[in-house]
Structure 1
């Protein structure tokens, strides 16, 4: 029991390696402690419990922002949010549990084999966590190293590979207290991948078209109140500035416009046209506007059968020239699973409305005349490594409008950190526009160029950074981290046959 509590505490402390505290060294130190605990486990059951406890502590602390989202839904008591965090963490902790079980099974006789197996298992389990049961890829442990030079390695081995390097760093710390040669061997993959990443080209320094990123600071607590639409419209138009003679790309947040911008119900066309005309008053003759909004689908021409969370691309006349529909929807946020059962007991979606959102077809690239090619990922879609770009039509940049007003103080900086890893993986800039922050411009190397603080209204005027050549990860995706995990596993199996180093 004492070792389980230590693992639980180590996991909880490791969460402070994530934003907003960003105490990165805590993550490898936590893994050093976890490796030692797993090595001392007498049985598989104990090793599994240690991994589960570590994961439970990390997720309960790191995902505390989820509880905040429940405070915006009057139909649900606030305490249910904390229960949701705990229950979700109980499930997510299964993946670290599987990794420690694998490490103990292969490396119980050899510490070096244990470290390599733990790293391999962690890569595989983070990949599985991102895909099973719709997936929840939030806070891979590698994101703790987003502000280190190892961020560049994601262009080779992706975010899950960077998580494996994080585990190896922690394992090397533990091994150094036992056998320096083993510690050096554990650091060898880190050194090799790190040096190889230096061969990847940096993004060109040339700047492109003018962009303006708008952050209106409209909180979720006021977004759907009577009169809020007019207030939001005035604030968005004011921050967009006066029309300019130079072409600009204006970027507004997710669901910035609450009235539908597409609606095929009878009689809706004039209202849609009026809404579009109202929001393009800030556009100059050569500007474009990319804004989050809603599209309504009706099957009978009268009632809404579905809604899509979309980004609409409008020209200065209000004409729709492109649209992206969110594909990776949030359970309980944008749709209610098992609706007949859950609605019968009084549960509802966190977002207002009784109609569930429809899912879009997936990543696509939009052509923006005069501005290049834009990929779009709405809100938490950006956290899914390897799933954010249409590889057949590589964009010049990614637009990630989001509504982080749900996410309290911890969620927005964690979201931004993961978006930075997408930029470094794919080698393309990322633009984020959110209602309350953190809006930002990230270059193709994953560096944060500009940002607007949380809960502050404002705008970012900047030049669109250039993309760099497609990285190996951009071409092959998550095959690369999985191959890296397989290589680590082979080393673990090889060393696992040898007796414990004296």
Structure 2
């Protein structure tokens, strides 16, 4: 029991390395403690239990914001939100448990072998967490490297390694750093500790050299906001500070629209690319010309607006009447005439937030209220880009879709930038900065600037290196006028995706077996 209690506390401590706290040394120390506890068990099921207890503490603390999300649903008691956090943590803890069990099963006789196997298994299990069943890849370990907006952490070499080995590969390097810390306390394994540091040192030195010798091979020169606005198109990001409990109140619809209009501002003689948040208006604008006309009055003749809105899916009934059978969470591009220039439909939907799995059963037991309305959202086909005349090509990723490594860019039509409209108003104090950190990782992986617009924050401009160049803090109304950063050349990761971290896992496993074999002779 003492071992499991320590594992739980280590897991809880590890969550403090993520935004908003950013205490990453505690995360590394917690991982070292997890590996030490796992190495000292005598049975495989004990190794699994140690990893699972660590994971439970980790996700219980790190995902505390989920509890608040439930309070915005109608007639939901607060305790149900915390029950949701516990259930999510119980499930997600399986993945670090599998990593601990596999590393112990194969490498229990050699601490050095164990560390490398644990890093390899961490890549695989983190990838699986984002791709199977509920596909919840929130807060990969690598996110601790970009947890602080203003610290200049994007200039460090470690997160930049995501261009070569992806987010999951960076997570493995962090595991190796923790493993080296563990091995340094075992006098027999100093050489193995140095071996564990070699991949991290190699990537850090390599990327530091690239940054010193010139970043043009990664990112084209980005102009200042002033020079860009003087020479051509400018962007404006709107954050109206509309809270979740105000957003869908019909009595506040006019006030909410006036907030958007106020920060959209007066039209000028320069074209603007304007960004509104996810579900910015309650209207089904594709079916409502009057709603489009009202919005278009805010735009200059050459302006283009990108905004989130829902789309109804219609079917003809047996009685000949059309009825709505579903909806899509969509991103639209609109010009000053009210014409829709393009649409992207969200592909990664939030279970129990945007659709109810097994809805008939959930209705029977009274849990259909977890998702608002009587219609489920339907998923779109995946990443798509569309042209914005005068502004280039945009790719859409709505809300938490941006957390999925390797799944955010249309490979057939690489965009000039990504737009990530989101509604983080129900994510509490921890969710929005965690969301922003993961968007930064996507920018680094793809060498792709990302624009974020949210109702309550954190709206931001992220350049192709992952730097937050402009942002509006949480729960503040405002707007950003800035230059649209330019994309970099396609990275190795943008070409091969998550094949690269999986190959890195294979290489780490090979090193583990080499170390294990050497330890036997």
TM-score range, shorter chain: over 0.9
Q: Which of these residues, 178, 185, 197, is aligned with residue 187 of structure 1?
A: 197
Choose which of 209, 219, 223 in structure 2 pairs with 1:203. Answer: 219
User: Paired residue for 1:281?
Assistant: 297
For residue 426 of structure 1, what is the aligned residue in structure 2? 446
Paired residue for 2:248?
224
Question: Is 1:468 equivalent to 2:465 in the alignment?
Answer: no
> 1:129 maps to what in 2?
129
| Match runs of 1:62-461 below 5 Å | 62-146=62-146, 147=153, 148-178=156-186, 179-198=189-208, 199=210, 201-207=217-223, 209-263=233-287, 272-300=288-316, 302-461=322-481
Shifted more, 222-231 versus 386-395: the winner is: 222-231
Equivalent pair of 2:218/2:491 in contact (CA under 8 Å): no
* 8 Å contact from structure 1 (residues 69, 350) kept in 2: no
Aligned residue for 1:400, secondary structure, equals: strand
Deviations 1:467-496 (A, max 9, x none): 110000000000000000010011112222
Aligned equivalents of 1:82 and 1:429: distance in 2?
36
**Cα distance in 1 between the residues matched to 2:344 and 2:74:** 30
Q: So what's the TM-score if we normalise by structure 2?
A: 0.93
TM-score with structure 1 setting the length: 0.96
Distance across 1 between alignment mates of 2:252 and 2:219: 41
The alpha-carbon deviation at position 137 of structure 1 amounts to 0.1
User: How far apart are the structure 2 equivalents of 1:406 and 1:15?
Assistant: 20
SS class of match (1:5): helix
Deviations 1:398-436 (A, max 9, x none): 000000011011000000000000000000001110000
2:250 match: secondary structure: coil
Q: Note if contact 2:459-2:471 (Cα within 8 Å) is conserved in structure 1.
A: yes
- Cα pair 1:110 1:498 within 8 Å, conserved: no
| Number of equivalences | 493
Q: Deviations over 1:353-394 (max 9, x none)?
A: 111111111100111111111010000000000000111111
How far apart, in 1, do the equivalents of 2:273 and 2:308 lie?
14
On the 8 A contact 1:336/1:349 being kept in 2, the answer is no
Whole-angstrom CA distance in 2 between matches of 1:421 and 1:336 = 30
Q: Is the 8 A contact 1:4 1:50 kept in 2?
A: yes
Bigger Cα displacement from structure 2, 193-202 vs 458-467: 193-202
Please state how far the C-alpha of 1:498 moved relative to its aligned partner.
3.6
The match for 1:3 is 3
The 1-side partners of 2:448 and 2:297 are apart by: 30
SS state of the match for residue 130, structure 1?
helix
Distance between the aligned counterparts of 1:197 and 1:160, measured in 2?
17
